């Protein structure tokens, strides 16, 4: 068995990402040493994933189809690091090093060139993700792992749309990526074991605790999370209690670190609506459908913290009841 040279992270030097090539009879799995990562989609999740990859010491390229979103994603990362400096959690020198690892790519082909792993974080729409993966199959290196950060879509439905399902995998990060400990790795029937081990090692090098979950709609996390959030919105619409009282109920009554409505604002109302719709379709069960208040807010552009208004008003920088 031959081993890659391995990479030591400046943050977690004890971890080396090293993937063995135990299978000599095919071109896949290849000898993989993670050096370069591409992240597709520079929104809430993509920018967080790219940030942590850059901090891990990998050459990281971030791409978004919309230049203004790419700019915003890069700005958010920069501001996160600046806040870290002002709080004394990191140094300017460290930030400079991390910034040097990160590049905004104007073209997807530039982003994925030479990459060992591509992590996709575009909106939760199966058609869009399939299109991206078809493109990735032809433009990314033939040995690159192709990961999707989908919160709910069946990985098999994305993987089977490519000619290389064995290297497609779910890597479900949580928001905000730099702070959240969990990485849910989702395996589908055609994935190669070495793709799973690469995803796990990449996650661990990024400082995450990984769990391995079967490819069922909503996996182990999103299904429970969105149902709770949707029910909280229904209760808000029914006037059961104010948004902050519903949130306080779960924080103090059930020890949730954050209430379900505030969490919905943090995740993005559009993201949660998309997940609910995809669960309703996957399970053929309308009880998963988003409440009409959620639909209405998404249609009026109130998407949560990222747009300044959602269940709460965030325009002052603080959470305010609407
Ligand atoms: N927001 C969360 O809390 C959260 C948590 C876990 C997983 N996810 C999943 O992560 C994915 C992204 O979610 P998000 O919250 O970051 O969404 P977002 O809307 O914040 O970001 C999506 C980004 O993708 C870009 N984009 C759209 N079409 C594109 C294309 N064709 N090519 C490249 N970029 C494109 C958009 O411009 C946008 O910047 C979704 O699958 C979502 O379900 C979200």
**pLDDT at 182 (0 to 100):** 97
Q: How far does the centroid of ligand 1 lie from the alpha carbon of residue 217, in Å? A: 18
In angstroms, the CA 202 to CA 205 distance is 5
Residue range 114-128, pLDDT digits in tens: 999 999 999 989 999
Residue range 196-201: average pLDDT? 95
Residue of 37, 22, 7 lying closest to 205 (CA atoms): 7
Do residues 112 and 198 both lie within one domain? yes
pTM (two decimals): 0.84
**pLDDT at 87 (0 to 100):** 96
- Whether pLDDT at 208 is above 60: yes
In angstroms, the CA 45 to CA 282 distance is 23
**pLDDT at 168 (0 to 100):** 98
- Whether pLDDT at 234 is above 80: yes
In angstroms, the CA 30 to CA 35 distance is 14
- Whether pLDDT at 186 is above 50: yes
Q: Is residue 182 part of a domain?
A: yes
User: Considering only CA atoms, which residue is closest to atom 20 of ligand 1?
Assistant: 43
Do residues 199 and 247 both lie within one domain? no
Q: Which of 9-18, 58-67, 217-226 has the lowest mean pLDDT?
A: 9-18
Q: For residue 82, name the pLDDT band (cuts at 50, 70, 90).
A: very high
User: In this structure, is the dihedral angle defined by the CA atoms of residues 39, 41, 43 and 44, taken in order, positive or negative?
Assistant: negative
- Whether pLDDT at 319 is above 50: yes
Do residues 250 and 317 both lie within one domain? yes
Pocket perturbation via mutation, ligand 1, pick of 38, 42, 44 by most ligand atoms within 8 A of CB: 44
Do residues 208 and 253 both lie within one domain? no
Do residues 50 and 160 both lie within one domain? yes
Residue of 258, 288, 284 lying closest to 273 (CA atoms): 288
Do residues 236 and 168 both lie within one domain? no
Q: Is residue 99 part of a domain?
A: yes
Q: Is residue 29 part of a domain?
A: no
> With left for phi above 0 and alpha for psi between -120 and 50, is residue 255 left, alpha or beta?
left
Do residues 48 and 189 both lie within one domain? yes
Do residues 197 and 176 both lie within one domain? yes
Q: For residue 20, name the pLDDT band (cuts at 50, 70, 90).
A: very low
Residue range 105-121: average pLDDT? 97
Q: Report the first-to-last Cα separation within the chain, whole angstroms.
A: 61
Domain of 290? 221-321
Q: Is residue 123 part of a domain?
A: yes
**pLDDT at 273 (0 to 100):** 96
**Ligand 1 atom with least separation from CA of 45:** 16
Q: How far does the centroid of ligand 1 lie from the alpha carbon of residue 6, in Å? A: 30
In angstroms, the CA 169 to CA 136 distance is 13
156 lines ligand 1 (CB under 6 A): no
Number of compact structural domains in the chain: 2
Do residues 210 and 227 both lie within one domain? no
**Ligand 1 atom with least separation from CA of 124:** 41
Do residues 68 and 198 both lie within one domain? yes
Task: Check if the beta carbon of residue 28 is closer than 8 Å to that of residue 143.
Answer: yes
Do residues 230 and 208 both lie within one domain? no
Q: Which of 175, 195, 214 is the last residue of a domain?
A: 214
**Ligand 1 atom with least separation from CA of 42:** 39
User: Considering only CA atoms, which residue is closest to atom 25 of ligand 1?
Assistant: 41
53 lines ligand 1 (CB under 6 A): no
Residue range 68-87: average pLDDT? 97
User: Considering only CA atoms, which residue is closest to atom 38 of ligand 1?
Assistant: 43
The SS3 assignment for 186 reads strand
The SS3 assignment for 150 reads coil
Residue range 126-152: average pLDDT? 96
Residue of 93, 250, 222, 90 lying closest to 153 (CA atoms): 222
**pLDDT at 278 (0 to 100):** 87
**pLDDT at 78 (0 to 100):** 98
Q: Which of 214, 248, 268 is the last residue of a domain?
A: 214
76 lines ligand 1 (CB under 6 A): no
Angle at 65 between CA 60 and CA 71, to 5 degrees: 60
Per-chain mean pLDDT for the chain: 90
- Whether pLDDT at 229 is above 70: yes
Do residues 55 and 165 both lie within one domain? yes
- Whether pLDDT at 184 is above 80: yes
Residue range 46-50: average pLDDT? 98
**pLDDT at 22 (0 to 100):** 33
Q: Is residue 24 part of a domain?
A: no
Using a pLDDT cut of 90, give the percent of the chain over it.
86
How far apart, in Å, are the Cα atoms of 87 and each of 40, 81, 91, 159?
A: 30, 10, 10, 42
46 lines ligand 1 (CB under 6 A): yes
Q: How far does the centroid of ligand 1 lie from the alpha carbon of residue 66, in Å? A: 12
CATH value at residue 241: 1.10.1040.50
Q: How far does the centroid of ligand 1 lie from the alpha carbon of residue 228, in Å? A: 22
Pocket perturbation via mutation, ligand 1, pick of 70, 72, 121, 179 by most ligand atoms within 8 A of CB: 121
Tokens matching residue 43:
């929104």
Using a pLDDT cut of 70, give the percent of the chain over it.
90
Q: Is residue 21 part of a domain?
A: no
Q: Which residues contact 31 (CB under 8 A, 6 or more apart)?
A: 2, 4, 19, 21
CATH value at residue 159: 3.40.50.720
Q: Which of 167, 194, 214 is the last residue of a domain?
A: 214
């Amino acid at each position: 068995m031959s081993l890659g040279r391995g990479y030591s992270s400046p943050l977690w030097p004890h971890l080396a990402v090293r993937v063995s090539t135990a299978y000599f009879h095919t071109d896949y799995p290849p000898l993989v040493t993670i050096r370069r990562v591409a992240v597709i989609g520079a929104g809430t999740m993509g920018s967080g994933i790219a940030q942590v990859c850059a901090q891990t010491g990998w050459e990281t390229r971030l791409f978004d189809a919309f230049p203004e979103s790419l700019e915003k994603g890069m700005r958010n990362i920069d501001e996160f690091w600046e806040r870290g400096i002002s709080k004394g959690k990191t140094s300017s020198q460290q930030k400079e090093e991390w910034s040097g690892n990160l590049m905004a790519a104007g073209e997807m082909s530039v982003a994925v060139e030479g990459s060992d792993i591509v992590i996709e974080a575009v909106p939760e729409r199966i058609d869009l993700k399939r299109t991206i993966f078809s493109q990735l199959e032809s433009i990314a290196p033939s040995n690159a792992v192709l990961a999707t950060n989908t919160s709910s879509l069946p990985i098999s439905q994305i993987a089977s749309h490519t000619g290389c399902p064995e290297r497609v995998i779910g890597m479900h990060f949580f928001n905000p990526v730099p702070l959240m400990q969990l990485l849910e790795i989702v395996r589908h029937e055609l994935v190669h074991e070495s793709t799973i081990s690469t995803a796990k090692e990449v996650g661990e090098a990024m400082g995450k605790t990984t769990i391995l979950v079967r490819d069922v709609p909503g996996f182990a996390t999103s299904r429970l999370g969105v149902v709770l959030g949707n029910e909280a919105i229904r209760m808000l619409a029914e006037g059961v209690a104010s948004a902050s009282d519903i949130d306080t109920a779960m924080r103090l009554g059930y020890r949730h670190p954050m209430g379900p409505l505030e969490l919905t604002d943090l995740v993005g109302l559009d993201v949660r609506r998309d997940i609910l719709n995809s669960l309703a379709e996957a399970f053929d069960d309308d009880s998963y459908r988003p409440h009409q208040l959620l639909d209405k807010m998404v249609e009026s552009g109130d998407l949560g913290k990222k747009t300044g208004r959602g269940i709460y008003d965030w325009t002052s920088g603080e959470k305010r009841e609407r």
